[in-house]
């Protein structure tokens, strides 16, 4: 008798190892964080959350995080869309070459990038060096350890995450649409604004959401390239753990961040379907 395995019936043996692993090392710890967020010194279990939404310092950090995140995301869109568009209109061979420009920073360590920007943006760095060539010897522009530094660093880090979803969308657009419009007399600009761009909006929205989610959790870049006034959410969590050993507040902030990120990801899955996680810019 030929024995055919019934795949549908029992793939469990293959799924079990990772399931057990994640349950033990990810799920349990996160549940512990949730519990910790309610373990306050005094004021009842919700004191931590109350403080998160009323303390001026934390509201300031929240405002910073949103401001930096939104500003960076807009700049990223302005720089990233032309790149994605350019890539989409290249021949496949040239595109592979130019993709190296996008993938190299994607796979470069965030610390290398931060160090490089510290060199480029610093008081005696490349930008000021060039500035002094054209202006006076004392000229200098402060682009490091302030909001500008944080935004520049963040923009650079997140650019590939905006480019990839838009590019994948543009590549999927049927070229016949543009051909038809051209044949009917539309100019290039008209074709772009009335056909290409509207169709690309789902890619744009995916990119915006991904960049926003990632910028909310940013830790290294604001710490290394921003100033004291540019602390973001993640830096605050680090502060509570390292400086004040206040595990409760750290947990509270973590859960708030987790909830906001999850809502944004849920919105992203709506826009793209679950394929969005896999093809929306990760690999």
- Please give the residues from 166 up to 195 whose contact with another protein meets the rule CB under 8 A: 175, 178-179, 181-182, 186, 188, 191
Q: Copy the structure tokens of residue 173.
A: 């657009």
Residue positions counted in the chain: 283
CB 112 within 8 A of CB 191: no
Hey, which residues between 72 and 111 contact another protein (CB under 8 A)? Answer: 79-80, 82-83, 85-87, 89, 98, 101-105, 107-111
Minimum distance between the CB of residue 44 and another protein, rounded to whole angstroms? Answer: 21
CB 273 within 8 A of CB 206: no
> Site map for another protein, 37-76, x if CB under 8 A?
----------------------------------------
Query: Which of residues 159, 170, 204, 205 is near another protein by CB under 8 A?
Result: 159
Hey, which residues between 220 and 249 contact another protein (CB under 8 A)? Answer: 220, 223-224, 233-234, 237-238, 241, 247
Smaller CB distance to another protein: residue 136 or 274? 274
Smaller CB distance to another protein: residue 67 or 219? 219
Query: Which of residues 50, 63, 126, 139 is near another protein by CB under 8 A?
Result: 126
Minimum distance between the CB of residue 243 and another protein, rounded to whole angstroms? Answer: 14
φ, ψ of residue 245 in degrees (nearest 5): 50, 30
283 contributes a contact to another protein by CB under 8 A: yes
Size of the site for another protein (CB under 8 A): 95
CB 216 within 8 A of CB 233: yes
112 contributes a contact to another protein by CB under 8 A: yes
Smaller CB distance to another protein: residue 58 or 216? 216
Minimum distance between the CB of residue 48 and another protein, rounded to whole angstroms? Answer: 14
Smaller CB distance to another protein: residue 118 or 148? 118
Query: Which of residues 48, 69, 122, 207 is near another protein by CB under 8 A?
Result: 122
Hey, which residues between 128 and 147 contact another protein (CB under 8 A)? Answer: 129
Minimum distance between the CB of residue 220 and another protein, rounded to whole angstroms? Answer: 6
């Amino acid at each position: 008798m030929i024995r055919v395995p019934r795949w549908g019936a029992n793939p469990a043996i293959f799924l079990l190892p990772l399931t057990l692993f994640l349950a033990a090392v990810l799920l349990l710890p996160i549940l512990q964080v949730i519990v910790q967020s309610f373990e306050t010194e005094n004021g009842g279990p919700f004191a931590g959350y109350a403080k998160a939404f009323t303390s001026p310092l934390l509201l300031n950090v929240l405002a910073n995080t949103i401001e930096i995140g939104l500003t960076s995301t807009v700049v990223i869109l302005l720089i990233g869309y032309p790149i994605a568009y350019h890539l989409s209109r290249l021949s496949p061979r040239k595109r592979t070459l130019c993709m190296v420009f996008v993938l190299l920073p994607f796979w470069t360590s965030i610390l290398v990038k931060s160090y490089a920007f510290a060199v480029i943006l610093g008081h005696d760095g490349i930008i000021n060096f060039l500035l002094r060539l054209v202006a006076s010897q004392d000229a200098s522009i402060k682009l490091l350890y302030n909001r500008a530094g944080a935004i520049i660093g963040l923009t650079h880090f997140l650019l590939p995450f905006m480019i990839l979803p838009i590019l994948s969308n543009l590549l999927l657009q049927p070229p016949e649409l543009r051909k038809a419009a051209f044949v009917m007399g539309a100019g290039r600009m008209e074709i772009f604004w009335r056909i290409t761009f509207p169709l690309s909006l789902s890619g744009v929205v995916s990119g915006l959401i991904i960049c926003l989610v990632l910028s909310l959790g940013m830790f290294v870049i604001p710490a290394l390239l921003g100033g004291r006034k540019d602390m973001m959410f993640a830096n605050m969590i680090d502060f509570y753990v390292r400086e004040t050993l206040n595990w409760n507040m750290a947990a509270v902030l973590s859960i708030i961040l987790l909830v906001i990120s999850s809502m944004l990801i849920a919105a992203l899955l709506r826009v793209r379907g679950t394929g969005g996680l896999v093809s929306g810019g990760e690999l």
